[in-house]
Every structure is written in C-alpha cells, then in structure tokens.
C-alpha cells in the first residue's frame, strides 16, 4: 500500500478540522500534515496548542480564495492528498452575507481543485481529493424518511447552496478531468472547540452564565447529532478505504428536536452546577423563526456502515456530558473567542 506523505488539510484551525488534524498527526506519524487556514473568526490555533511542536505537523496561513497563493503552495509542497474542510459554515451568517459563502465555499474549492489538477495533471496514481460536506445540501425532510446518497440535492439556505455547488464541482472535476475524489455529507456535529454561535455551545455557554436561551420558531426543528470524534473516525476510514468517485453519508441515527436538546443541556448543567432542578429551563424564550429553516434532517448511513464498517461509538448523553465538561474546564477559550465582533453579531442576531 502506497502511503502518502504530504497531506493538506484545509480549515484545520476550525471545529471539525482541529479534531481531524490532531487525530491524523498523532495516529499517523509517517504522514506530514499541513494545516492550511486563513484564521477567520472561526479559526483558532489555540485548538491545536498540544500538537503544534510535533515534527509531522505544519501550519500554513493562507486564504483559499487567493488563486495565485494556492497554486504556489501546491507547487511548493506537492500535496499528494487533500482533505478539504475550509468553509464559511454558519447558516445564519449566510443569510446576511451570501457572497462570502460563494467566495470561500465555491471559488475557494475551485482554486484547490485547479491547483491539485495542475500539479498532478494526468497522473493521479495514489492521489486523492477528499471533500467534506454537509447533509444540508439535501434540503428538508418531512416527518419520516432519511437522506440517502441518491437523494436529490435541494438546498434551502445560501450556506447549503454554496456547499451543494462545491460538491457538484468536485464531482464534475472527477468526471471531466479524472481527479480521484471522494465526498462525504455529514449531519450536525457537536463537541469541544465548537464556536459558540452554534446551537449546543451557545446554549451551554448561556446556561453556565444564566443568560436567556433564544430558540427559533416553535423549537421543534429536528437534527441528527453526531459527536465530532465519530465524524473524524468516519473521515479516517473514508480517506483510507473508500472507493474513488463515491459519496458517503455520515450520521448518528440520533434525532432530536432543538427544544429537547436544550432541555437536556439544562438538566445536565443544573445537576453539575448544583442548581435547583428546572431553574435553567426558565431561561428559554422563543424568537422569530429563521427564514428557509429546514424542518428535519436525518441520515441513512447504511453505505458507510456496510462498506467501511463505521458506526457512531458515543451516545448523545455521554457526548453532551464530555462536551459540557470541556466547556466548564476551558472558560478562557470561550472568553477569547467571543470577544470583539462576536458580541456585535450576537446582539444583532438575538435582539
């Protein structure tokens, strides 16, 4: 088996990317892992403090929308394999600024594809372009049913439209230019190091601080939650074993309504912080719904289970407890990331 020594991970300073980089750097000392990230508000090198000195890890500060820079970096480092996670990732922000999502998620992906294609040309032996994507590209489900790899795309938000566009380009580059690629579409992740604009860390932070808990619409939006390390395990398996030119859905078979998730977080935290039972739930209040809000997502992950033997290993309660314990132990991480522009964003979003 030919082992690739030069692996580019994009977006490795973000939430999922930092877990993935740590996992690869520690598990595969023979691989050289290059973490390319422009360090937007969502990127934070603090997430990787524990591995930054390791010799098989290197950080490259660069923006994937910069075509020339990306081409130069591919030329210089000759990356054999790419795991592409860099993206604008927050649906609410995509509603107020869709263009930023087109630039990073679509044009940025194209720049990577072009650079990859131009260094390896027609000899793609042992090479791979792995694109990490979301189940949101499939749109919304009714009360029943699951997203399969064959479900047609029907994105409803500028975020999911931009991710859908990037998925299509990766596939098209495979068909048109013969690039060896694989795509995975995963459900909602949670865990340590997630930026507190996302539902679970937002609520954990507000419950700890006893701030109000804003819930969109009727709170009955349903998501399939997966612990971030289970996603990383799936990416590892796909990276090493998947058939080229395939798509894999990844999900936890773990559907929860938003309001149920929030109640569970209140219950666990009230218990941990010795607060009166039910006291945090009183902080819940409902706000105007988000436009284009998908009602339900749920994933059928039979294909990755059957072909690659993957299944989630951490149940929801256990995963939430691990996550909560991490946020309780790392208050300075939260303090640092919510400084400055996030405070303005929060006020605008939830006032």
Q: Give residues in contact with ligand NAD (CB under 6 A).
A: 11, 13-17, 37-40, 42-43, 63-65, 85-89, 104, 108, 132-134, 163, 186, 188-189, 195
- Residue nearer to ligand NAD on the CB measure, 33 or 64: 64
Min separation Cβ 282 and ligand NAD, Å: 28
Neighbours of 249 (CB within 10 A): 24
Active centre residues (catalytic):
135-136, 159
169, 172, 178, 181: CA torsion to nearest 10: 50
Residues 6 or more apart from 221 whose CB is under 8 A from it? 257, 258, 293, 294, 295, 296
The strand ranges marked E within the chain are 6-10, 32-37, 57-61, 81-84, 128-134, 181-186, 188-190, 213-216, 222-227, 246-250, 255-257, 284-287
- Residue nearer to ligand NAD on the CB measure, 103 or 272: 103
- Residue nearer to ligand NAD on the CB measure, 104 or 206: 104
Beta bridge partners, 134, equal 186
- Residue nearer to ligand NAD on the CB measure, 37 or 255: 37
Q: Which residue's Cβ lies closest to ligand NAD?
A: 14
If we measure between CA atoms, which residue out of 246, 260, 258, 254 comes closest to residue 312?
Answer: 254
User: Left (φ > 0), alpha (ψ -120 to 50) or beta: where does 212 sit?
Assistant: beta
- Residue nearer to ligand NAD on the CB measure, 132 or 261: 132
Residue carrying structure tokens 């950080």: 59
Min separation Cβ 53 and ligand NAD, Å: 20
């Amino acid at each position: 088996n030919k082992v690739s020594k030069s692996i580019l991970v994009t977006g490795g300073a973000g939430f999922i990317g930092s877990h993935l980089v740590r996992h690869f750097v520690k598990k595969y000392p023979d691989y050289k892992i290059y973490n390319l990230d422009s360090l937007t508000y969502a990127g934070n090198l603090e997430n990787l403090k524990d591995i930054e000195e390791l010799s098989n890890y290197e950080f490259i500060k660069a923006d994937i929308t910069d075509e020339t820079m990306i081409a130069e970096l591919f030329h210089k480092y000759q990356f054999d394999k790419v795991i592409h996670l860099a993206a604008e990732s927050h649906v609410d922000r995509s509603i107020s600024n869709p263009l930023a999502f087109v630039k990073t998620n679509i044009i940025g992906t194209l720049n990577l594809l072009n650079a990859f294609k131009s260094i390896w040309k027609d000899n793609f032996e042992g090479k791979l372009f792995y694109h990490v994507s979301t189940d949101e590209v499939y749109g919304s489900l009714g009360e029943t049913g699951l997203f399969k790899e064959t479900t047609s795309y029907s994105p409803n938000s500028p975020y999911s439209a931009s991710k859908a566009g990037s998925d299509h380009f990766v596939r098209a580059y495979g068909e048109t230019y013969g690039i060896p690629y694989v795509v995975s579409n995963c459900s909602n992740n949670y865990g340590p190091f997630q930026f507190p604009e996302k539902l679970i860390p937002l609520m954990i932070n507000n419950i700890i601080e006893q701030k109000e808990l804003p819930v969109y619409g009727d709170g009955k939006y349903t998501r399939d939650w997966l612990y971030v390390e289970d996603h990383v395990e799936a990416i590892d398996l796909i990276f090493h074993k998947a058939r080229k030119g395939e798509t894999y859905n990844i999900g936890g078979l773990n559907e929860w309504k938003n309001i149920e998730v929030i109640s569970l977080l209140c219950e666990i935290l009230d218990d941990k912080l010795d607060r009166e039972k039910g006291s945090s739930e009183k902080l819940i209040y409902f706000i105007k719904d988000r436009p284009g809000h998908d009602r339900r997502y749920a994933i059928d992950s039979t294909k990755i289970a059957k072909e690659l033997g993957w299944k989630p290993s951490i149940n929801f309660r256990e995963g939430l407890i691990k996550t909560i314990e991490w946020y309780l132990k790392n208050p300075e991480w939260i303090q640092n990331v919510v400084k400055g522009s996030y405070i303005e964003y929060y006020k605008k979003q939830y006032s």
